[in-house]
Structure 1
Amino acid sequence: MNTHRLNRNSYLSLSGNNLNYFEITGRGTTDSTSNTKEDFSEWSENPLDIGDFKVLPNGNNNDIPTQIQETVLPNSFAHRALKRKAELLVEQGPYIYTQKVDGTKYTRTPEENSQLTEWLESFNYEELLHKNAIDYYFNECVYTKIFRQKSGRLAQSSEPAQIEHVSAFNCRLAYRKNDKKERPTHVIVGNWKKQDQQDLKVYPLYDPKNPDKYPVAIAYNKFYTFGMSDYPLPDIYGSLDWITNTTNTPKIFKAFSENSLNIKWHIQSPEEFWEAKRKIIKENIKATPSLGPYKEQMLEDLKTEILDQLSTLLSGVENVGKFWHNEYVVRLIGASATEQGWKITPIEQKTKEWVESQIKMYDTAIYAVQASLGVHASLLMVGADGKSDSGSEQLYAYVTHQKTATPIPEYYVCKAINDIIKSKFNTNQKIGFYRTTPERQQDVSDSQRAIPSTTTKTPTE
């Protein structure tokens, strides 16, 4: 028996000569959201108790960064697209500039500042900004640790403070338990999968208006999401199901090729069934404390056990004496009648049609992911149909992206450094990313082209 989890709601199970596909579908009786069960308005209402602090969870289960990581990293398209957006943002690299207004538009003038450059290079600012850019495109927020100079308070120090990147994946906002305002004042950094309090470190939030208040603080900068005051919700989150579909397709094809099997059964189970199982597990743990704290893996282990048993049953479904009993009900959720129960549907063994349907679903998912990422296919080095776009289309997509899709990310990625520059160096100079506007090849002389023409003129021409 071999059950493989494709994602949080889908499984493949191989039993004998049968390959079965399981899917958890539907909604809970009291839930009006999708299968992810996220209620975006209640995160701050259910804080975690960590020592003397209340921690604001990032998601109902404090696992949205984990969901994004586990979904995006195995996916070649989504992962590459997000890294490509970071590359387009950084482009030629960071530089010092001043911004001027000529009456009609803003222009940037590159500047030289040896003292500022020396400070920036002291903490490898280019690598820090690269990491900030990755954090921004995955989480739309950036955390930066700021050290006050040991020789004195920042405003009185003869040397600038140091800055260090902190992974957004490991950071959570918090406030003290006796704080009646219940607004974030600290950042707690650590491994939130283990949630070992001994490994968690607490830092105050950095205040750019009072930069020398703490010896060490963490600056938190985010792109605000409507209705969410603490954490932003990254654009990529809404496409996790689509991304999962594109990741699963090659896995399904691999299982088909290696085992020379078609998927024989499509089994759908209701979300409510597993919610009831989760509740039973928690009640058992409450009644028997020696079992330890509840972990989501306990439910995953139960799912595997149940699906293994069902796969065994289906692999010999033609045998006398084997049957599957299922209670099937229809419940009203809001104004809609929702069917709730297990469904076991045989899949016709038509290989050509099945393969074509998988490819069509994959293509549809790719288009949806690309739309949510907000980056033109040509900027990913491939056209929408898998072929290279024309030079003019690539140029237009590039210019549009750089002019409209990079200013806001640049602001948040560079904000912590620019806040320090303003308070320490008392200057209007800033750090940004240098970007160029490429010319059309037909507007560039042959000798100046990156790839000169292979056509040469004869002396008589």
Structure 2
Amino acid sequence: MKREIRELEGGLFILPGAQALVELTKSDKAEDVNYGAAPLTSGGLKIAPWGKNNLQPQEMLALIYSNHLKPQLITTARDFLLGSRIGCFTRKVVEGKIVVEPVIDPEMEAWYESIDGDSTMQSLAYNLEGFANYFSVFSLASKNYVEGIQSFDATVARALVTTKARPDRYALHHDWRNFRTDEAKILPAYDPLNPSKFGECLLHGRDWTPGQKYYDVPPYWGSKMWTQVSNKVPRFHNSGLDNGYNLKYHIKIPQGYFDQFGETPEKRKEAELALMGAMNEMLSGVENADKAFVSKFAVDATGKPLPGWEIVPIENKMSDKAYDSVNTQANIAHTSAHGIDPSLAGIDTGGKFGGSGSEKRISYQLHIALRTPQKRKILLKTLQAAHKISGFNPAHFFGFEDIDITTIADNPTGKQKVVNSSM
């Protein structure tokens, strides 16, 4: 019975006799699931690894840019998040309702331009969409003025292990594969209770996934396996076009054909290998599609054909529709995981593409209304902190301006600027 037991990956065992599947799990000893590995200790620092090898953001990036849809989905989500521009706004109460209105504030606008705010916000938004975390570093010229904000990618920043509820120090390093303590820059976390406490500090923008103390997890990471499947489909077709899709032909050669090339087995084997190479070049590759094969055969005294060469095509149903179906399923999984209507990202999932103009407009409006408010609050924390430190007009605040898609009947241009009322 023991010989019938089959061991699979991941601690799984099949017991045919008992008709059971057994999984060996880890012990119930508490394990910190915040970062999935032991702290990286070096030179007195204890780094909270991001992923088991501390390279999860790098792995995410490699997976994203090995895929034909992920970059466009993340970029589209980022663009929706940023709206048409960052502007200055104020709130008023009109007939018992809070109304957000745009204002002109030269001081805030000049400061935003001086720090190259658009580039900073683009980087922060991409990191938030791509990694569910962003890291903005404040540089204070004085206790009451932020002279610069720099966005550091998720591939660069790591939190230091702490017993406090939230990280209070961070390390920046250019190459976590070859970490050196003397090359790391250690920064304190931004303190919302004392914004001007540090001349340089780091604000970590993120949502709060349960059980993840140090780094958040992007929702799309649940589609990791589908992304890996999706990445294999084009590689399969690319290889198939170069080499023929899997096993494509059954070539039948008469037993005595190679006798003519020599009396010794070595010479006949040499001729056989040479022929195999020539056949491979002839029948594989896109440039050889639809080639014809010509052979000669002899007949006996009665006119019956003697055995000759024969090439029999082998049907391979996995080379087209089956793989296309898998690819379509993967495409749908991508868009679902990112929470984006595929037509808004310009992605064809195999069904009715795009829908009518009104359907697209409604889809866009729903995305802005339902998908962006919470992420925008996270993104605006950086500008809110700078606003507080620099002592700008407390009645004014930074916010997002959107483009509302209209009908031609409502507006000849088909669009109009609107204020995001969720701010």
SS, match of residue 194 in structure 2: coil
Q: Within 1, Cα distance between the matches of 2:209 and 2:67?
A: 25
What corresponds to 2:224 in structure 1?
240
Q: Within 1, Cα distance between the matches of 2:223 and 2:246?
A: 28
* Within-5 A mapping of 1:3-402: 26-28=9-11, 41=33, 43=35, 46-102=38-94, 105-149=97-141, 152=142, 154-155=143-144, 159-175=145-161, 181=164, 184-190=167-173, 191-262=175-246, 350-382=315-347, 384=349, 385=351, 387-402=353-368
Letter in 1 for 2:147: A
Which entry has the higher C-alpha Rg, 1 or 2?
A: 2
What's the TM-score, normalizing by structure 1?
Answer: 0.66
Q: CA deviation at 1:365?
A: 0.8
Post-superposition Cα deviations, 1:366-409, rounded to whole Å, max 9, x if no partner, equal 11111001000121134542633210110110000011111111
SS, match of residue 74 in structure 2: helix
Q: Within 2, Cα distance between the matches of 1:31 and 1:381?
A: 44
- Does the C-alpha gap of structure 1 residues 252 and 412 become closer, same or farther in structure 2, counting only changes over 3 Å? same
What's the TM-score, normalizing by structure 2?
Answer: 0.71
SS, match of residue 201 in structure 2: strand
Question: For structure 2, which runs of at least 5 residues remain unmatched after alignment?
Answer: 1-7, 13-22, 249-312, 416-423
Q: CA deviation at 1:168?
A: 1.9
Q: Within 1, Cα distance between the matches of 2:156 and 2:10?
A: 30
Q: How many residues align?
A: 328
- Does the C-alpha gap of structure 1 residues 121 and 411 become closer, same or farther in structure 2, counting only changes over 3 Å? same
- Does the C-alpha gap of structure 1 residues 44 and 370 become closer, same or farther in structure 2, counting only changes over 3 Å? closer
Q: CA deviation at 1:208?
A: 2.2
**1:407 matches 2:390:** no
What corresponds to 2:270 in structure 1?
none
Question: For structure 1, which runs of at least 5 residues remain unmatched after alignment?
Answer: 1-24, 34-38, 265-347, 451-461
Q: Name the Cα RMSD after superposition.
A: 2.7
Q: Within 1, Cα distance between the matches of 2:335 and 2:225?
A: 13
Letter in 2 for 1:195: F
Letter in 2 for 1:350: E
On the 8 A contact 1:99/1:107 being kept in 2, the answer is yes
SS, match of residue 115 in structure 1: helix
Q: Within 1, Cα distance between the matches of 2:229 and 2:387?
A: 45
Q: Within 1, Cα distance between the matches of 2:139 and 2:123?
A: 18
On the 8 A contact 1:395/1:440 being kept in 2, the answer is no
Letter in 1 for 2:170: V
Higher RCO (CA < 8 A, seq sep 6+) = 1
Q: Within 2, Cα distance between the matches of 1:40 and 1:250?
A: 38
- Does the C-alpha gap of structure 1 residues 216 and 31 become closer, same or farther in structure 2, counting only changes over 3 Å? farther
Within the candidate set 382, 391, 399, 1:432 is matched to 399
- Does the C-alpha gap of structure 1 residues 263 and 32 become closer, same or farther in structure 2, counting only changes over 3 Å? farther
Post-superposition Cα deviations, 1:61-104, rounded to whole Å, max 9, x if no partner, equal 22221221111112121111110111112231111112334466
Q: CA deviation at 1:430?
A: 1.9
On the 8 A contact 2:139/2:146 being kept in 1, the answer is no
Q: Which moved more, 1:193-202 or 1:60-69?
A: 193-202
On the 8 A contact 1:129/1:414 being kept in 2, the answer is no
Over the matched positions of the two proteins, sequence identity in percent amounts to 20
SS, match of residue 411 in structure 1: helix
- Does the C-alpha gap of structure 1 residues 379 and 252 become closer, same or farther in structure 2, counting only changes over 3 Å? same
Q: CA deviation at 1:32?
A: 5.5
